[in-house]
Amino acid sequence: MSDRFASGYVTIVGRPNVGKSTFLNQVLDTKLSITTSKPQTTRDRILGIFNAPEAQVIFLDTPGIHSSDKALNRYMLDKAVSTIHDADLALVMTDPFETSDQLGEVLDYVKQAGRAALLVLNKVDLVGPEAAKRKLEDLEKLHDFVHSCAVSSTKGDGIEALLDEIKARLPEGPRYFPEDMITDAPLRFLCKELIREKVFTLTHKEIPYAVAVEIEEFRETEPAYIGAVIHVERASQKIIVIGSRGSKLKEIGTASRHEIERLLGCKVYLELFVRVTKDWSKSPKSLKDLGYR
């Protein structure tokens, strides 16, 4: 048996809604990155640590690569692109419904970074095996990938074999993080993301994309106390988030509290407020004030 220990950083890169965060959660067997059916859910780089006896794989989940002039979207693109340069390997994720041109936009950034890339066709449970095979063969022609495979992040199919391929291609190195650690994200950040996820899933149309969440107070008491502000861009959006007699805000708060209690392992008193911060997603200063740095 080899004494070789491999370690390194693997960025998960792709267009919005191809299942990057679902993949990371499946690998770690825990909910680390928030997931919704809406594109552009992930806004920041999320670090997730996979520990094995022979390797430590440090995954970097990134926002979906897409073009936009809005300050928030430029921030998300910068996060995704810079993370490719920080990694040892690029896990280029796509799905059966993405075109070659769409994947090509992602590959342009991978080529610029000069990183070895693995092609991962996700969501193959949504199509037949023959269709998945044909799609993978077509996409393989776009780049000199070091490996390609098909997986289902929701069902876990193909994940173990992909992890073996990743570990084999990482350099020999130390364990960068303690073995019992799965992320470097602070609890405040994780709680903020869980609240934002519930806003995404419980509101409609433009509301999720106009929302930012800020944790103003976090006390690790028993029960824990969290005071959070949901920022929206217009007064009309505030009315929708609050709902009739506060019904929507109560629904968001209850769903968020249950998730946060599972994360913290204790009872939580969660207090939510809604505030209008006009056009925050278009203002570089507002982005920084709300934690997008």
In angstroms, the Cα distances linking 173 to 7, 46, 60, 68, 89 are 5, 22, 18, 38, 14
Q: Domain range holding 257?
A: 187-289
If one counts the domains in the chain, the total is 2
Query: For residue 181, is it within any domain?
Result: no
Structure tokens at 46: 């999320």
Regarding whether 157 and 115 lie in a shared domain, the answer is yes
Question: What would the pLDDT profile of 94-133 be if each residue is shown by its tens digit?
Answer: 999 999 999 999 999 999 999 999 999 999 999 988 999 9
Query: For residue 178, is it within any domain?
Result: no
Regarding whether 225 and 80 lie in a shared domain, the answer is no
Regarding whether 278 and 203 lie in a shared domain, the answer is yes
Regarding whether 204 and 148 lie in a shared domain, the answer is no
Coil, helix or strand at residue 19:
coil
Predicted structure pTM score: 0.91
Regarding whether 250 and 134 lie in a shared domain, the answer is no
Regarding whether 222 and 268 lie in a shared domain, the answer is yes
Measured over the CA atoms of residue 119, residue 125, residue 127 and residue 132, the dihedral's sign is positive
> Quick one: which H or E segment has residue 271?
strand 268-276
Question: Which of 169, 202, 226 represents a domain boundary (last residue)?
Answer: 169
Structure tokens at 51: 């520990």
Whether omega for the bond prior to residue 223 falls within 30 degrees of 0, making it cis, is: yes
Regarding whether 128 and 11 lie in a shared domain, the answer is yes
Question: Which of 169, 203, 220 represents a domain boundary (last residue)?
Answer: 169
> How much is the mean pLDDT over the chain?
93
Band of pLDDT at residue 134, cut at 50, 70 and 90:
very high
Question: Which of 122, 137, 169 represents a domain boundary (last residue)?
Answer: 169
Regarding whether 144 and 244 lie in a shared domain, the answer is no
Query: For residue 239, is it within any domain?
Result: yes
Question: What is the identity of the amino acid at 158?
Answer: G
State the distance between the two ends of the chain, measured CA to CA, in whole angstroms: 45
> Quick one: which H or E segment has residue 48?
strand 46-52
Band of pLDDT at residue 206, cut at 50, 70 and 90:
confident
Regarding whether 164 and 203 lie in a shared domain, the answer is no
Beta strands across the sheet bearing 46-52: 46-52, 55-61, 6-13, 89-94, 116-121, 147-150
